[in-house]
Amino acid sequence: MSLVNKLAPKFTAGAVINGEEIVDDFSLDQYIGKNEVIFFFYPKDFTFVCPTEILAFQEKLAEFEKRGVKVVGCSTDTEESHFAWLNTPKNQGGIQGVTYPIVADVSKTIATNFGVLDGEYDYDEQGNLVFEGAGIAYRGTFLIDKEGIVRHEYINFFPLGRNIEDTLRIVDAWQYHEKHGEVCPANWKEGEDAMTASFDGVKEYLSTH
């Protein structure tokens, strides 16, 4: 089930902030009323595609911050694993230098509530609780507005790295809509024409593009 236009699931969990401090009570509630949030999931620490995405978000962090948007990552690894990876140099497969928060979803409840966990619990024929699936998060990305409502989501399977530039484009489109009330057509980028949400607006836009 999509979370779009619904309140983002709430949580309090351990996290590493500023790449160097472990906290046990991190929550997205701290941003309500102040910031939009890009909240993204990745499968595992110390893997392959994941560091390319995490570092790509860091490379664009100033662009997100310029727009008043907070970036927060999350996986089902422990905060100690996050801490170790954050303190491993890039040339050794680490993500040293990343400063935005990385949440530890050890219980897998955050990934489950956001609909990105691969697998689920069930019972076998003997009544034993079993888990079927990988038990880690897909590459989910969520834009959460200042009121805590999800305005955009997309979810990739494990091998498919996401496009951080397009995540910025989505932020720009949402903020443009919020400011001007217009809607953003296919492939819209900041600085391009948008259109009014009406048949006349569509006709005018299509006649000039």
156 and 169 housed in the same domain: no
**Residue at which a domain ends, from 160, 181, 200:** 160
148 and 174 housed in the same domain: no
Looking at the predicted structure, is the pLDDT value of residue 91 above 80?
yes
84 and 130 housed in the same domain: yes
172 and 150 housed in the same domain: no
Domain extent, residue 172, equals: 163-209
139 and 209 housed in the same domain: no
How many angstroms from the chain centroid is the CA of residue 175?
17
Q: Which residues are catalytic?
A: 50
Query: In angstroms, what CA-CA distances link 177 with 16, 163, 185, 195?
Result: 33, 22, 11, 10
95 and 113 housed in the same domain: yes
What are the structure tokens assigned to 157, written together? Answer: 């399977």
- Residue 204 — very low, low, confident or very high, per pLDDT cuts 50/70/90? confident
The predicted-structure confidence for 1-32, as pLDDT tens digits, reads as follows 899 999 999 999 999 999 999 999 999 999 99
Number of H helices, E strands in the chain: 6, 9
Q: What percent of the chain has pLDDT over 90?
A: 88
Number of domains in the chain: 2
Residue 8 domain-assigned (yes or no): no
> 139 with 156: CB under 8 angstroms?
yes
Kindly report whether the global pTM for this prediction surpasses the value 0.85.
yes
155 and 172 housed in the same domain: no
